[in-house]
Chain A
């Protein structure tokens, strides 16, 4: 059970300022029509494009549970009709990686294995090629802040899912913090076990609203005030 660090009062907690973010989606004008071209282009596109295609489903289909996997897996399964490749690409455990380049390397490894053993090249029908995209992120502070676990819980209920997304996904992978922002704040303010509990969540297996509820529940269980 997490407790305040020895001699520490809640009033001493640094304020957590909720930031939010919004993305503008770019079209790269590059497309793949088979698994070989997909491999070539995944290796070439900017890291932001790999991030986009492994994360935006969380936004677009956040009402579906379980959520569809990453875009590459969805395309391999539903357009190339390659269930085996689709399953391999879908099963990549993104939470285990701490950088986008590591994620990219894992996709390339799977595609190399597939392409070297594939008996034939399956082409996507015309008009259903894989179109590479990317995004530009605009991050900005919200009016919500918290100086105690109770306030944190209340504000987390109010912020948009964009803010939740920024602190849980962008902070960890794109800002290279290696850890989500909430865990960092809990840790810095004397709640190491709460920090660890939130860090151990696999956010990729929740809908965004489900993730919000899971974090609030964890904070409640650690907040004795």
Chain B
């Protein structure tokens, strides 16, 4: 089991000690996280790592998952797409179904002193606040910059009943009568997905998937989802390929709450069938080791998302010192200072241009990777994330610009 003290070797002893000092001020409070899936996707991944660490520093942290049927998740996927600005039709019956499932879950659930609700799926649980009391915070993990108006108006009625809303990027903030907090997600440097790997392990994974490491490898390792634009990645690769020799690896999986994954996967496979240098790898949820190796062994890592809540895959690749080319959407500009710690692009052509540049200029690519790793170390590791959550919970109890906590 990973111990919180193990992180001192990465971020310094002082930082870890501060987490213990902060946690003392939350003694006696139950902090309950609620989301909609226990596997797949960034939220489940963060909670899986974070809950045990919170417990180790003395916080009574819990995690509950709401139950929903297939129809519920079809509706919530529509919400998800609508909040990302994709036009969708949602009927009154579907809004009613959404609320019915939330109310049923609220009736079956026991609530803690502080309730931390993640994403729109369980947002309606706030209706129970009048009965159970406590502090309630809503955590939005998705790109909220251009939400569909109808869906936002529906959700706003619930968001404003929370004590605070938490967003991953400044552009997601909007005029609201409640406090809005900026908390970026994080990666765990000691997890199977991010820990150091021997070169031999990296090569073994590439061999297993039939990828030639003697030639440049451009990869995008991300869920097969329309918003990750895997087809756009293939187009960028094809443009770059006219001038530089390289292979493309598209690797990823799906989440249990994403009904669109298989259709996107099929579209990608059709495109990939035309080129033996395009490797499409479907990764089941337990593939952290393989993801780690594929990222470490890539010459250039892409994240060509059309919309992005945060884009944790960027942080993962940067942590491994890889040069990253990513779209300037969602939380990605927080992770990459253009031309300093990575490359930000806005188009297929721009992505292709930088693929060629980084393959042809490995010294510059290496410098981008080194800066990127340092930036992630300072700002996007799980210890910083734990710190932010502790402060968030404390902020619901203590007001004022400067709060002095006793020892």
**Interface residues of A, Cβ cutoff 8 Å to B:** 20, 22-29, 46, 48, 59-64, 68, 127, 129, 131, 133, 136-143, 158-163, 174-175
Contacts and interface: CB of A to CB of B under 8 A. Distances in A.
Contact of A138 (B167, B337, B378, B394): B394
Interface of B: 12-15, 17-18, 21-22, 145, 167, 170-176, 179-183, 328, 337, 340, 371, 374-375, 377-379, 387-388, 391-392, 394-395, 398, 400-407
Contacts of B173: 27-29, 131
Contacts of B176: 29
Contacts of A139: 402-405
Given A22-B387, A127-B145, A140-B406, A133 B394 contact: no
B174 A29 contact: yes
A178 to B, nearest CB: 17
Contacts of A61: 337, 375, 378
Contacts of B392: 24
A137 B405 CA distance: 10
8 contacts: A20-B14, A24-B391, A25-B182, A64-B340, A138-B391, A138-B394, A140-B404, A143-B17
Contacts of A25: 181-183
A62 B171 contact: no
A139 B377 CA distance: 23
Given A27-B182, A137-B403, A63 B18 contact: no
B31 to A, nearest CB: 16
A24 B388 contact: yes
A142 B17 contact: yes
A48 B179 CA distance: 15
Nearest to B400: A136
A142 B167 contact: no
Contacts of A22: 18, 22, 387, 391
The 9 closest A-B pairs by CB, nearest first: A160-B14, A27-B173, A131-B170, A140-B405, A63-B374, A24-B391, A27-B180, A25-B182, A29-B173
A20 B18 CA distance: 8
A163 B15 CA distance: 10
Contact of A24 (B18, B170, B181): B181
A131 B395 CA distance: 22
A86 B195 CA distance: 40
A160 B12 contact: yes
A163 B391 contact: no
Given A27-B170, A29-B175, A136-B400, 9 more contacts: A63-B377, A131-B170, A137-B401, A137-B403, A138-B398, A139-B403, A140-B404, A142-B14, A162-B15
